[in-house]
């Protein structure tokens, strides 16, 4: 879906090519309103919600015209990096935790200390957006990475929900195999993911940190053990093969196996429950990830879904700050966006909308509260951390497709990852 207010990527590229000097944040729209550019990524469902929130903000601030620069996930950071490099950065930019150190160290982000009201925000979560004593980013909400289960698919296979306080990776592989075998050939036990967070949690179960004293703290043995679970899933047909999984991953959340009722399990961020529940039309359950034999932790942590940031080059700081403040502190904005970008970190706002949250959001809140005592603090990646997801994905695809051996790929992955954060 594209609205009249959303700038297409081609138009954004054209702006980049014609930009002279700083960004166009200081320009006014043709009707005399202040034009505020706002970049974000996501699904069609997120775009619809965001446009509604923008409309609500504009109604309260009729002198400001917020122009959403929306893109899909794969192209977002490439497009944003091009704009920032060309001094054509959007006034308000959405960033993940892994990109904050890089963008703040390059001087691309404005210091928001004292500029946005953060008094009612979870201060531990807020700290993830702070570097060198300056608040460069405001968290949109919090997430946990969990196992989602499509209950009707599980029931049809004649299987029961596992005990997520004790199940292991072997249990997960065996259950996936049973579910696939019970089906008609078009349904699978699980779909896997190469999300770097999954690897971080897998490593934490083995007592390792992804980042440790300026280096990658995960051992080759742990990386190979992680890849071995994918190999087992493929060999037992608990999941599709590597080629099919690559196709599914590229299609996005709406076309996932769980979303299309073709899979019983899959790992997702908690804020994706609403979209997956809607597109599947099925009852979905959230579980802790399996853990290694003898592990004392599941490796779970509470992480900001993403952050709101403001360009250091904007000529409309006051308007940009007002927009971010609205997104974080206004109950109307929360009532529209709900948990799409994570559960609200503003305690007062969350309390005001808690009883109005739809079933999926209530479910997320209940799950997060049930595992809260087990959650570690989010690890803030160093400069170069934004490259990790691509590095992990590329070598994981090479191993599962048989292009590289696990030994060779693990060595290369660590070399490239360490070089990324050293540079």
Mean pLDDT of 26-48: 85
Contact 146, 289 (CB under 8 A): yes
* The three-state (H, E, C) secondary structure of the chain, written as one string: CCCCCECCHHHHHHHHHHCCCCCHHHCECCCCCEEEEEEEECCHHHHHHHHHHHHHHHHHCCCEEEEEEEECHHHHHHHHHHHHHCCCCCCEEEECHHHHHHHHHCCCECCCCCCCCCCCECHHHHHHHEECCEECCEECCEECEEEEEEHHHHHHCCCCCCCCCCCEHHHHHHHHHHHHHHCCCCCEEEECCCCHHHHHHHHHCCCCCCEECCEECCCHHHHHHHHHHHHHHHHCCCCCCHHHHHHHHHHCHHHCCCCCCCEEEEEEEHHHHHHHHHHHCCCEEEECCCECCCCCCCCCEEEECCEEEEECCCCCHHHHHHHHHHHHHCHHHHHHHCCECEECCEHHHHHHHHHHCCHHHHHHHHHHHHHHHHCEECCCCCCCHHHHHHHHHHHHHHHHCCCCCHHHHHHHHHHHHHHHHHC
Say if residue 127 is in the same domain as residue 271.
Answer: no
Tell which wins on pLDDT, 281 or 26: 281
7 domain-assigned: no
Q: Does residue 106 register a pLDDT over 70?
A: yes
Higher pLDDT, 252 or 403: 403
Q: How confident is the model at residue 74 (pLDDT cuts 50, 70, 90)?
A: confident
Band of pLDDT at residue 252, cut at 50, 70 and 90: confident
Looking at the fold, whether 46 and 72 belong to one and the same domain comes out as yes
- Residue tagged 């001094």 (tokens): 87
Confidence of residue 32 (pLDDT cuts 50, 70, 90): confident
Examine the domain organization and report whether 121 and 161 are in the same domain.
no
pLDDT band at 81, cuts 50/70/90? very high
What span, in angstroms and rounded, lies between the C-alpha atoms of 328 and 94? 13
Model-level pTM? 0.82
* Residue of 293 and 21 predicted with greater confidence: 293
Query: Does 193 share its domain with 295?
Result: yes
Predicted confidence band of residue 39 (pLDDT cuts 50, 70, 90): very high
Domain with 100 in it: 25-140+305-369
What percent of the chain is predicted at pLDDT more than 70? 93
Residues 264 and 290 in one domain: yes
- Give the number of domains in the chain: 2
Res. 83 pLDDT band, cuts 50 70 90: very high
Residues 161 and 278 in one domain: yes
Whether residue 6 is predicted with pLDDT greater than 50 in this model: the reply is: no
Is 376 within a domain? no
In this structure, is residue 290 part of a structural domain? yes
**Is 4 a member of any domain?**
no
Mean pLDDT of the chain: 91
Residue 24 — very low, low, confident or very high, per pLDDT cuts 50/70/90? very low
pLDDT digits (tens, 9 = 90+) for 313-350: 999 999 999 999 999 999 999 999 988 899 999 999 99
Is residue 2, in this structure, part of any structural domain at all?
Answer: no
* Beta pairing class for 263-269 and 134-135: unpaired
Does residue 153 sit in the same domain as residue 291?
yes
In-domain check, residue 375: no
Cα(320)–Cα(144) distance, integer angstroms: 28
* 291 and 323 housed in the same domain: no
Same-domain check for residues 207 and 312 = no
Q: How confident is the model at residue 43 (pLDDT cuts 50, 70, 90)?
A: confident
Distances (CA, A) of 75 to 79, 81, 96: 6, 10, 14
Residues with Cβ within 8 Å of 74's Cβ and at least 6 positions away in sequence, in order, are 250
Q: What is the mean pLDDT of residues 164-178?
A: 98
362 & 417 share domain: no
Determine the average pLDDT of the residues in 139-162: 97
Distance CA 124, CA 127 (A): 5
> Using 50, 70 and 90 to split pLDDT, how confident is the model at 278?
very high
Which residue, chain included where needed, has tokens 């529209």? 336
The predicted pLDDT at position 15 comes to 34
Residues 272 and 396 in one domain: yes
Whichever domain contains 223, its CATH number is 3.40.190.10
**Among the listed ranges 117-121, 255-259, 340-344, which one has the minimum average pLDDT value?**
340-344
What are 182-233's pLDDT values in tens digits?
999 999 999 999 999 999 999 999 999 999 999 999 999 999 999 999 999 9
Same domain, 150 and 254: yes
**Is 379 inside any structural domain?**
no
Does residue 268 sit within a domain?
yes
């Amino acid at each position: 879906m594209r609205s009249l207010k959303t700038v297409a990527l081609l138009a954004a590229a054209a702006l980049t090519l014609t930009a002279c000097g700083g960004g166009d944040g200081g320009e006014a729209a043709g009707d005399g309103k202040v034009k505020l550019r706002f970049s974000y990524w996501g699904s069609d469902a997120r775009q619809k919600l965001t446009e509604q929130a923008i409309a609500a903000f504009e109604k309260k601030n009729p002198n400001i015209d917020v122009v959403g620069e929306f893109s899909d996930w794969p192209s977002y950071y490439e497009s944003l990096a091009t704009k920032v490099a060309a001094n054509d950065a959007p006034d308000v930019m959405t960033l993940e935790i892994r990109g904050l150190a890089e963008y703040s160290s390059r001087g691309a982000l404005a210091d928001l200390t004292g500029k946005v009201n953060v008094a009612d925000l979870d201060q531990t979560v807020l700290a993830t957006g702070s570097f060198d004593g300056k608040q460069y980013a405001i968290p949109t909400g919090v997430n946990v990475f969990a196992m989602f289960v499509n209950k009707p698919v599980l029931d049809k296979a004649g299987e029961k929900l596992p005990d997520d306080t004790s199940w292991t990776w072997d249990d997960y592989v065996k259950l996936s195999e049973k579910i696939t075998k019970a089906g008609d050939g078009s349904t699978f036990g699980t779909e896997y993911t190469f999300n770097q967070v999954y690897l971080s949690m897998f490593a934490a179960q083995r007592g390792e940190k992804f980042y440790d004293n300026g280096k990658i703290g995960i051992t080759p043995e742990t990386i190979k053990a992680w890849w071995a679970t994918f190999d087992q899933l493929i060999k037992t047909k608990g999941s599709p093969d590597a080629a099919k999984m690559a196709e599914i991953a590229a299609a996005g959340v709406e076309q996932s196996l769980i979303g299309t009722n073709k899979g019983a399990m899959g790992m997702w961020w908690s804020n994706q429950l609403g979209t997956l529940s809607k597109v599947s039309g099925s009852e979905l359950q959230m579980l802790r990830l399996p853990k290694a034999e003898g592990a004392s932790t599941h490796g779970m942590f509470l992480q900001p879904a993403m952050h709101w940031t403001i360009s250091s080059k904007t000529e409309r700081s006051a308007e940009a700050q007002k927009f971010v403040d609205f997104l974080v502190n206004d109950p109307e904005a929360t009532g529209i966006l709900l948990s799409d970008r994570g559960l609200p970190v503003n305690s007062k706002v969350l309390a005001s909308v808690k009883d109005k949250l739809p079933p999926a959001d209530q479910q997320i809140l209940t799950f997060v509260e049930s595992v809260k005592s087990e959650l570690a603090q989010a690890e803030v990646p160093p400069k170069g951390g934004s490259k990790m997801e691509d590095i992990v994905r590329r070598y994981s695809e090479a191993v599962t497709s048989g292009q590289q051996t696990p030994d060779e790929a693990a060595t290369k992955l660590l070399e490239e990852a360490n070089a990324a954060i050293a540079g």
